[in-house]
A and B are shown apart, each in its own frame.
Chain A
């Protein structure tokens, strides 16, 4: 959530539960600290002007058909 509100513990627990993590696992305390640092590392995304840019995703239907047929 770069550029948005900082990740609160409440939000973290909600997302962790949605991701299937065990909310009773004491490991989650360490993960919470780690995630805050990790998301800070991608905060710079918020500053990048991407106007007019389409996501660079590879999808080549012709090639996928060919792979299936082979």
Chain B
């Protein structure tokens, strides 16, 4: 098989070939390393690339599979981790030169679970510094570039994860999502990004941004791959105090292709917010398609949507400042100035404000819970616009000019507040050729329904089959 084709196979497709010994993990890794070599000068997805360790693991995987010891669907699959997932013996920078030489002694739980599943780590992926920004700009390791147009942002903070998956540099990547950092780059780069329920995937060994808003999640090219990845990484972890002790189903069993009988709600407040007309049209078409497939679509109301920025902003600012306080005192002048300002601003959020935000979060979640008595899923745009230019501070949406950070997080933050699962998947392209994302959100720990609807939509469309012109 052509090397480029190997790079664009999904984990599901690739795993069947590996299992049947039609393709070797060594071929797969070599193809991806060649793809990285060809595209990395444009994309800058990686902070640390691990070609020789990856080849060595691939040779071991090949020997294991030849000997009849196939471990399952991730065995031999190339994976990239955002550079805030600790990896034993491999530097983990969190996107800052201050941590250029930080080499963790232990793997984070997610990395360990990938390793147990036989996945092969290709490298550590570029990111917005400390995950504190939604664009994928990094002044220490270079900005990330969107594979669909390198002058535009990938979205962030998991920008390298977005570009690497979209451009066929990795089959599976992982991001972390505090205000949208998995779903934003997924939408802007035209891939699938799943933010699981808070507590489903362990945060142990990840650099925190906000303890109570951080969610690790997969960034892949198909919904099946999101399910396969979740099968490998979800589950109780005593090292994470928020880890949920729940039975983990086989998420691929939810991929039936049917949405018959599902009740989908469209919060009307989402459409009062700044929203580009092309994005609105693509999302409306996607929702109609789901309706045509058998779902029931109704308009619903989430009045506290308008409070979501204040609630998550206060929590995020206070927690990020608390976590990074010693760093600010020691090395503040070595941080990217905009990130330093954001972190220091959190020092001025009072304890009373923080607790008021947590009270408001309770109210917000009560409202969300009431809504989920009426519907099984909420649908809407992931992003109000397609990818803005790199270093843009404002974006014009219709007749309104708004800040990029607020715009890119307006539809994603609510599900960090609620901790409920939300997925972004491609649902169209703008006239300029940039991807548009549909966001589907479900009840706590009901990833199965989210994946079920996303898969049905994906199978009825071909947006996920398009490849960026790189």
B311-342 residues with Cβ-Cβ distance < 8 A to A are: 311, 313-314, 317, 325, 329, 333, 341-342
- B309: interface (CB < 8 Å): yes
Stretch at the interface among B28-36, B106-114, B235-243, B382-390: B235-243
Q: Are B362 and A44 in contact (CB under 8 A)?
A: no
Contacts known (A42-B349, A58-B241); A30 close to B341, Cβ less than 8 A: yes
A1-49 residues with Cβ-Cβ distance < 8 A to B are: 1-2, 7, 12, 15-16, 19-21, 27, 30-31, 34-35, 38-39, 41-45, 47-49
Q: Are A42 and B313 in contact (CB under 8 A)?
A: yes
Most chain A CB atoms below 10 A, which of B306, B314, B355, B359: B359
CB closest residue in chain A, given B347: A19
Residue total for A at the interface (Cβ-Cβ under 8 A): 37
Q: Are A56 and B242 in contact (CB under 8 A)?
A: no
Return chain A residues, CB-CB under 8 Å to B313: 38, 41-42
In the bound complex, CA of A1 to CA of B349 (Å) = 7
In the bound complex, CA of A62 to CA of B365 (Å) = 24
Return chain B residues, CB-CB under 8 Å to A54: 359, 362
Whole-angstrom distance between the Cβ of B289 and the nearest chain A Cβ: 35
B148-195 residues with Cβ-Cβ distance < 8 A to A are: none
Contacts known (A34-B345, A41-B310, A45-B310); A50 close to B356, Cβ less than 8 A: yes
Q: Are B363 and A50 in contact (CB under 8 A)?
A: yes
Q: Are B358 and A55 in contact (CB under 8 A)?
A: yes
Return chain B residues, CB-CB under 8 Å to A41: 309-310, 313, 406
Return chain A residues, CB-CB under 8 Å to B353: 1-2, 42, 45
Residue total for B at the interface (Cβ-Cβ under 8 A): 40
Q: Are A63 and B365 in contact (CB under 8 A)?
A: no
Return chain B residues, CB-CB under 8 Å to A19: 325, 347-348
Most chain B CB atoms below 10 A, which of A16, A30, A43, A67: A67
In the bound complex, CA of A43 to CA of B36 (Å) = 45
Return chain B residues, CB-CB under 8 Å to A55: 355, 358-359, 361-362
A56: which of B314, B341, B347, B362 is its contact (CB, 8 Å)? Answer: B362
- B224: interface (CB < 8 Å): no
Q: Are B314 and A45 in contact (CB under 8 A)?
A: yes
Return chain B residues, CB-CB under 8 Å to A34: 341, 344-345
Q: Are B341 and A45 in contact (CB under 8 A)?
A: no
- B350: interface (CB < 8 Å): yes
Q: Chain A residues in contact with chain B, CB under 8 A?
A: 1-2, 7, 12, 15-16, 19-21, 27, 30-31, 34-35, 38-39, 41-45, 47-50, 53-58, 60, 63-64, 66-67, 70
Given A42-B349, A48-B311, list of 9 further CB < 8 A pairs? A1-B350, A35-B348, A50-B359, A50-B362, A50-B363, A53-B363, A55-B359, A56-B358, A63-B243
